[in-house]
Amino acid sequence: MPQSTKPRPLPTSIDETLSLLAAADYLADRSLATVLYLALRMGRPLFLEGEAGVGKTEIAKVLASTLGRRLIRLQCYEGLDVAAAVYEWNYGAQMIAIRIAEAEGEGDRDRLTHDVFSERYLIKRPLLQALEPDPAGAPVLLIDELDRSDEAFEAFLLEVLADFQVTVPELGTVKAARPPIVVITSNRTREIHDALKRRCLYHWVGYPSAERELEIVRAKVPGIGKALSEQVVQFVQALRKEDLFKAPGVAETLDWASALSELDVVALDPATVSDTLGVLLKYQDDIARLEGGKVKELLDEVRVDLRAAE
């Protein structure tokens, strides 16, 4: 994240949102720009769902860096609780403070409690951090892979997202002066409850079209040749049409493109593809499916398509 951050204004139109993302090499469809613009404008959380590796998390990162905001990330996991997500008291330090006070003969109980339960001993976790005022503007709060947490946490999140406030019993209620920009992502390993989705603007992030993916590859893998990038994208697009257990995402395309460009490959051939298939496909069944001439078949198709396009 760049250090010299100044508060930058939010985009004022859909086109501006689109160019803002493009400036950070995130090439988005207009539909995504629309929902993002609305989320920023209406101050609503953005709920992004889609297959792994289509750039959901990346949106929050790009947003933070282009707007010059702080990125606060909360990675969800099963059993995530308030102590890990919101706040925790620094019990060790509190104990020491009590001991010192006792040694000094401090007898006033009220004062001691007041001292011990002060912000100094509060460990702030992501959700509480996101509510704090920031000179650079409200931070970007990324709640990543919400589907990994359990329903109990989801229910708690409802409260936070509705009012942007949390209550610490010993301290009182902390309310955000300006609500953070919230981005929630989910891989759909389970359904998120409608009550939570209702509060958000929903968007399904799908696989990009061939042209869009080509632009992305060329933007993200600068050294790649024209012919290779075209072949890579066409091959991946063809692969997604196959009956695979897990189709490769954009992240895999980029990995593959940079792997091939590191290997100084100029054009795809069946042997290279078979050798590097592990970058694209992550299930043994899927790799097995492509064995025995299937790769060559797909490559021939890709070549014919590309020749036809010329």
Contact 56, 184 (CB under 8 A): no
- Please tell me whether residue 287 binds another protein under the rule CB under 8 A: no
- Please tell me whether residue 35 binds another protein under the rule CB under 8 A: yes
Q: Label residue 100 exposed, middle or buried (CB < 10 Å: 0-12, 13-18, 19+).
A: exposed
Nearest residue (CB) to another protein, 209 versus 245: 245
Nearest residue (CB) to another protein, 13 versus 173: 13
Interatomic CA distance for residues 221 and 258, integer angstroms: 6
Contact 215, 27 (CB under 8 A): yes
Q: Which of residues 217-246 bind another protein (CB under 8 A)?
A: 243, 245
- Please tell me whether residue 190 binds another protein under the rule CB under 8 A: yes
* Contacting residue, 7, 91, 163, 171, with another protein by CB under 8 A: 91
Distances (CA, A) of 134 to 39, 52, 60, 184: 20, 32, 17, 21
Q: Label residue 108 exposed, middle or buried (CB < 10 Å: 0-12, 13-18, 19+).
A: exposed
* Contacting residue, 5, 34, 129, 274, with another protein by CB under 8 A: 34
- DSSP assignment string, 10-55: PPSSHHHHHHHHHHTT----HHHHHHHHHHHHHT--EEEE-STTSS
Q: Give the pairing of strands 181-186 and 46-49.
A: parallel
Contact 232, 253 (CB under 8 A): yes
Nearest residue (CB) to another protein, 200 versus 268: 200
* Contacting residue, 78, 119, 264, 310, with another protein by CB under 8 A: 78
Interatomic CA distance for residues 130 and 182, integer angstroms: 9
- Please tell me whether residue 121 binds another protein under the rule CB under 8 A: no
Rounded least distance, CB 26 to another protein, Å: 17
Nearest residue (CB) to another protein, 201 versus 306: 201
For another protein (CB under 8 A), the number of binding residues is 43
- Please tell me whether residue 306 binds another protein under the rule CB under 8 A: no
Which parts of this chain interact with another protein (CB under 8 A)?
13-14, 30-31, 34-35, 37-39, 41-42, 44, 47, 49, 77-79, 81, 83, 88-89, 91, 94, 98, 109, 113, 147, 150, 152, 188-191, 194, 197-198, 201-204, 243, 245, 285
